[in-house]
């Protein structure tokens, strides 16, 4: 049922009295408009702040409460919008408006509404301060409220939270800066490269270059961009072919081209290129790098020449090394041959059936001592030479330290007694085996024991110990009570021919024994060292890798060799042919064989004569010297083995040639 409204405010003005007309539709429109205005004013997404003419807040809507955190009761009739705005921004705005309008404007509410008060549309950015003190950016629209006479009765400030837009703007700004930084970084890499760089489209038209490419071609970047790639090389067809290769193979490496600059200068370059694509994998073109290899080619040529020189030097060195080996072999033969004769005859004289007189015995002793000493010096020098040339043979096998030290004790004890040196050797309760060359271990121990006696005081002591340092390592140590060594002397101890000031002393030596010992121990995988105190003595030691004892089965032939059968009278004689041109050696072997009645000796002083005697006499065994006046022992052996009458006769090389190469060849 419709309600009748009889309100003078809505009466027909022309009638002057109530007409009784029912007015319904205008009221509904008014109510609808009021609802819309209320909805807009109370929107939570906009802060609507209305003030009086002086700026004091009169209306503070729901949106303002939500954005600023104040309740309406906190601000109505108490503060102005300037009180909830960033004071620095208010001051800045006042200064800007003062400059713009050439009139002083006081920082405060006046600065916020100055333009609106003059009928100028005003929308600006401002930072609001919430009740909790936090800040947020807002976009504020200011409108002056006027009465019917156009007088300002207040102001309406409608604000929106600008945080999201500011964040997006900041992110966009940051992304823009990153993009610019990346472009700058990429360009910097492009420009700083030592190679001439360029990009082209798929048809080979240059799209970008760096400074190095400008230098290489003598053209500017603007001149190069848009020009065909192949135009800047001495062989355009080869350059164009490289583009086709890149497009077909996706890349190309070390493709040599010759670039030609504007002024005619030619530069050999190593050209490397690859294709590049956009994000949709569509081919965009080619990225190429050209490196100047002129200097590299020159260096390659120099290197090639140096390699030729090195090969030549290597050949010379190998020849020199071979000559050295031949020299050492000859020296070994030439030195050992007379020494063998001297020592052999002296031993025969010493063991003759008619004992020598006292004077003769003393002379024989001097001969033997001098001979053995000279032989030892020769051995040491040759050993050092063989080690340095890598020619020393080693046979690594389990070696019993107890057996080796006992043998060394027997060999050294007489020398110790002559000086009254007391020797103490270990008692082996456990079998100590090391991985080593038995002969070389014995050589090292003899050297260390000899030094401990030679450089000891009269009636001093030498103590030998053998201990297991770790389950994998055994140490042999030799302590003496000699004069000891200073740290400076210890530092020079293992230098060749350095006798640490003993050169003028009475003790014989060469200064290479310890050097050989050190190198032998290291070749066997061990270490050697010394601890010494001046006035107290020295402790020399070496360590080798320990191994388990190995039992080798003994063959029947070995047992037969161990027991030499007794020769009964009337036993068949055996014939021995000795081919040797050295009279002293011949005489020595003759005297040795003369003591064995079951052996008959035949001799020959040349290879051909020896072959003749062998064919005629067919001896049981032949002793063959290597160095003979006509043919050498190898040639004589070859002839004997090719003759059916002599090929089964055993031939043993008996020679003073002691170098590994000679031994290997002899075997």
pLDDT tens, position by position, 285-322 = 999 888 888 878 788 788 888 888 888 888 887 777 66
- CATH at 643: 3.40.50.2300
479 pLDDT above the threshold of 80: yes
Q: Which of 226, 283, 208, 278 is nearest to 250 (CA)?
A: 283
- Give the Cβ contact number of residue 24 at 10 Å: 11
Confidence tier at 205 by pLDDT (50, 70, 90): very high
Phi, psi angles (nearest 5°) of residue 611:
-60, -40
pLDDT at 488: 86
Residues 487 and 415 in one domain: yes
Residues 423 and 538 in one domain: yes
For residue 131, being part of any structural domain is answered with yes
Provide mean pLDDT across the span 4-17: 41
Provide mean pLDDT across the span 528-549: 90
pLDDT at 660: 67
Q: Give the tens place of pLDDT for each residue, 490-515.
A: 887 877 555 555 544 555 555 677 88
pLDDT at 594: 84
C-alpha pair distances (Å), 664 with each of 331, 384, 659: 18, 19, 9
Bridge-based pairing state of the strands 135-146 and 122-129: antiparallel
Q: Which of 275, 292, 309 is the last residue of a domain?
A: 292
Rounded Cα gap, residues 383 and 370, in angstroms: 20
Count how many domains the chain has: 4
Q: What is the 3-state secondary structure (H, E, C) of 562-592?
A: HCCCCCCCCCCCEEEEEECCCHHHHHHHHHH
Across 120-124, 177-181, 193-197, the highest mean pLDDT is recorded for: 120-124
23 pLDDT above the threshold of 70: no
Q: Give the tens place of pLDDT for each residue, 252-273.
A: 888 888 989 899 899 999 889 9
pLDDT at 340: 78
pLDDT at 32: 63
Provide mean pLDDT across the span 113-124: 92
Residues 540 and 562 in one domain: no
For residue 342, being part of any structural domain is answered with no
pLDDT at 377: 66
For residue 448, being part of any structural domain is answered with yes
642 pLDDT above the threshold of 90: yes
- Give the Cβ contact number of residue 394 at 10 Å: 12
For residue 621, being part of any structural domain is answered with yes
For residue 591, being part of any structural domain is answered with yes
Q: Which of 545, 572, 588 is the last residue of a domain?
A: 545
Residues 644 and 519 in one domain: no
Least confident of 105-119, 164-178, 235-249, 533-547: 164-178
- CATH at 261: 3.30.450.20
Mapped onto helix, strand or coil, the DSSP state of residue 402 is: helix
C-alpha pair distances (Å), 633 with each of 443, 444, 587, 627, 662: 31, 34, 19, 7, 12
Which residue did the predictor score with more confidence, 125 or 666?
125
Rounded Cα gap, residues 361 and 349, in angstroms: 9
Residues 631 and 655 in one domain: yes
Provide mean pLDDT across the span 172-180: 85
Provide mean pLDDT across the span 389-401: 76
Q: Give the tens place of pLDDT for each residue, 31-69.
A: 666 666 666 667 767 899 999 999 999 999 999 999 999
558 pLDDT above the threshold of 60: no
Q: Residues 54-66, buried b or exposed e (16+ Cβ, 10 A)?
A: ebbbeebbbbbbe
Q: Give the tens place of pLDDT for each residue, 577-590.
A: 999 887 778 888 88
- CATH at 440: 3.30.565.10
Half-sphere exposure of 126 (CA within 13 A, CB side): 30
Residues 514 and 572 in one domain: no
Residues 150 and 212 in one domain: no
Rounded Cα gap, residues 468 and 236, in angstroms: 78
Q: Give the tens place of pLDDT for each residue, 132-155.
A: 999 999 999 999 999 989 999 999
Tell me what the pLDDT averaged over the chain comes to: 82
Which residue did the predictor score with more confidence, 469 or 473?
473
N- to C-terminal Cα separation, the chain: 141
Which residue did the predictor score with more confidence, 171 or 97?
97
339 pLDDT above the threshold of 90: no
Rounded Cα gap, residues 577 and 575, in angstroms: 7
Rounded Cα gap, residues 560 and 445, in angstroms: 32
Rounded Cα gap, residues 465 and 442, in angstroms: 15
Residues 526 and 562 in one domain: no
pLDDT at 125: 92
For residue 90, being part of any structural domain is answered with yes
Which residue did the predictor score with more confidence, 331 or 52?
52
Q: Which of 274, 292, 310 is the last residue of a domain?
A: 292
Residues 539 and 573 in one domain: no
For residue 578, being part of any structural domain is answered with yes
Residues 561 and 494 in one domain: no
Which residue did the predictor score with more confidence, 181 or 225?
225
For residue 220, being part of any structural domain is answered with yes
Provide mean pLDDT across the span 623-641: 88
Give me the domain span that covers residue 213.
Answer: 193-292
Residues 407 and 513 in one domain: yes
pLDDT at 8: 40
Beta-bridge mates of residue 246: none
Provide mean pLDDT across the span 402-422: 87
7 pLDDT above the threshold of 60: no
Least confident of 278-282, 558-562, 574-578: 558-562
> Model-level pTM?
0.38
What percent of the chain lies above the pLDDT cut of 90?
A: 34
pLDDT at 390: 63
DSSP-derived secondary structure for 268-286: EEEEEEEEEE-TT--EEEE
pLDDT at 623: 94
Confidence tier at 126 by pLDDT (50, 70, 90): very high
Rounded Cα gap, residues 659 and 667, in angstroms: 12
Residues 133 and 198 in one domain: no
């Amino acid at each position: 049922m419709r309600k009748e409204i009889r309100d003078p405010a809505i009466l027909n003005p022309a009638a002057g009295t109530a007409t009784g007309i029912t007015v319904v539709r205008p009221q509904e429109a008014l109510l609808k408009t009021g609802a819309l205005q209320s909805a807009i004013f109370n929107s939570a997404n906009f802060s609507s702040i209305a003030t009086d003419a002086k700026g004091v807040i009169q209306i503070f809507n729901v949106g303002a409460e939500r954005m600023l955190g104040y309740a309406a009761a906190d601000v109505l009739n108490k503060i102005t919008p300037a009180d909830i705005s960033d004071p620095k921004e208010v001051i800045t705005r006042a200064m800007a408006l003062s400059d713009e309008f050439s009139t002083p404007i006081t920082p405060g509410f006046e600065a916020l509404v100055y333009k609106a008060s003059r009928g100028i549309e005003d929308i600006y950015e401002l930072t609001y301060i919430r009740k909790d003190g936090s800040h947020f950016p807002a976009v504020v629209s200011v409108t002056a409220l006027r009465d019917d006479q156009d007088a300002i009765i207040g102001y309406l400030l409608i604000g929106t939270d600008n945080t999201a837009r500011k964040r997006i703007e900041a992110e966009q700004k940051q992304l823009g800066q990153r993009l610019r930084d990346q472009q700058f970084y990429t360009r910097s890499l492009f420009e700083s490269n030592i190679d001439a760089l360029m990009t082209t489209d798929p048809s080979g038209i240059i799209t970008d270059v760096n400074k190095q490419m400008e230098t290489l071609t003598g053209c500017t970047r603007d001149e190069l961009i848009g020009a065909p790639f192949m135009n800047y090389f001495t062989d355009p067809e080869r350059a164009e072919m490289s583009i086709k290769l890149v497009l077909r193979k996706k890349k190309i490496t070390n493709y040599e081209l010759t670039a030609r600059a504007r002024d005619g200068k030619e530069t050999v370059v190593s050209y490397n290129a690859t294709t590049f694509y956009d994000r949709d994998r569509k081919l965009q073109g080619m990225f190429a790098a050209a490196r100047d290899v002129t200097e590299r080619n020159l260096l390659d040529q120099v290197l090639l020449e140096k390699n030729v020189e090195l090969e030549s030097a290597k050949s010379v060195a190998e020849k020199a090394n071979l000559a050295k080996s031949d020299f050492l072999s000859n020296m070994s033969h030439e030195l050992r041959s007379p020494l063998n004769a001297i020592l052999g005859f002296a031993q025969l004289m010493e063991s003759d059936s008619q004992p020598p007189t006292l004077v003769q015995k003393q002379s024989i002793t001097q001969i033997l001592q001098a001979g053995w000493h000279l032989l030892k010096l020769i051995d040491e020098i040759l050993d050092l030479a063989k080690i340095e040339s890598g020619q020393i043979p080693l046979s690594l096998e389990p070696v019993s330290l107890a057996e080796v030290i006992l043998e060394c004790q027997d060999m050294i004890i007489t020398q110790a007694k002559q000086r009254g040196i007391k020797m103490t050797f270990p008692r082996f309760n456990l079998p100590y085996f090391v991985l080593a060359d038995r002969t070389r271990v014995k050589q090292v121990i003899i050297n260390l024991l000899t030094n401990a006696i030679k450089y000891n005081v009269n009636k001093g002591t030498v103590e030998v110990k053998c201990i297991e340092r770790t389950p994998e390592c055994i140490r042999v140590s030799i302590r003496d009570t000699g004069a000891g060594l200073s740290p400076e002397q210890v530092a020079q101890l293992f230098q060749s021919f350095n006798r640490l000031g003993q050169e003028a002393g009475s003790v014989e030596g060469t200064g290479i024994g310890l050097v050989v010992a050190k190198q032998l121990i290291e070749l066997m995988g061990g270490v050697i060292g010394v601890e010494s105190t001046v006035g107290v003595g020295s402790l020399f030691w070496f360590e080798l890798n320990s191994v388990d004892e190995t039992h080798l089965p003994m063959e029947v032939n070995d047992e037969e060799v161990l027991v030499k059968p007794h020769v009964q009278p009337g036993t068949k004689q055996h014939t021995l042919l000795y081919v040797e041109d050295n009279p002293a050696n011949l005489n020595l072997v003759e005297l040795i064989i003369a003591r064995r009645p079951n052996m008959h000796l035949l001799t020959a002083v040349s290879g051909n004569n020896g072959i003749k005697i062998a064919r005629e006499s067919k001896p049981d065994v032949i002793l063959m010297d290597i160095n003979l006046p006509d043919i050498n022992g190898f040639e004589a052996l070859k002839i004997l083995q090719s003759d059916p009458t002599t090929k089964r006769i055993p031939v043993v090389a008996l020679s003073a040639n002691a170098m590994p190469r000679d031994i290997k060849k002899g075997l």
